[in-house]
Amino acid sequence: MPQPPNPHLSNADWLRTAYTRWGWTQQQIAEHVGTSQSAVSKALRRHRIPAGVRPDSLVWDDDWLRTARLDRHLTTAQIAAEAHCDESTVVHHLHRLGLPTRR
């Protein structure tokens, strides 16, 4: 028997606030509402909430990204978590800056 829709994921305003204003990742939202990351991703698409890098993401700060990779020796996963974006986005920006992209 199919599960009823998650009330949080059915509420576009709540989802938009959690994702863009509070800066929660899809995984954090999923854990908060007790569902999967893929369900959150589908809800974002359904409500036409752009997924990916938010404008305030640290990944756009070149100095921060250089420090995270070269001085703090963070992995792409760690950088993605701190910058609230996907690892593929981190890799893209590391390439853009000519920084090593090993995971």
Which pLDDT band, with edges at 50, 70 and 90, does 37 fall under?
very high
* Distance, CA of 48 to CA of 93 (rounded, Å): 25
* Distance, CA of 44 to CA of 9 (rounded, Å): 8
* Distance, CA of 43 to CA of 40 (rounded, Å): 5
For the ranges 58-62, 72-76, 96-100, which has the lowest average pLDDT?
A: 58-62
Amino acid code (one letter) for 35: T
Amino acid code (one letter) for 80: A
pLDDT, tens digit (0-9, with 9 covering 90-100), for 42-72: 999 898 887 765 656 787 789 999 999 999 9
pLDDT, tens digit (0-9, with 9 covering 90-100), for 4-27: 678 889 999 999 888 877 878 899
Rounded mean pLDDT of the chain? 86
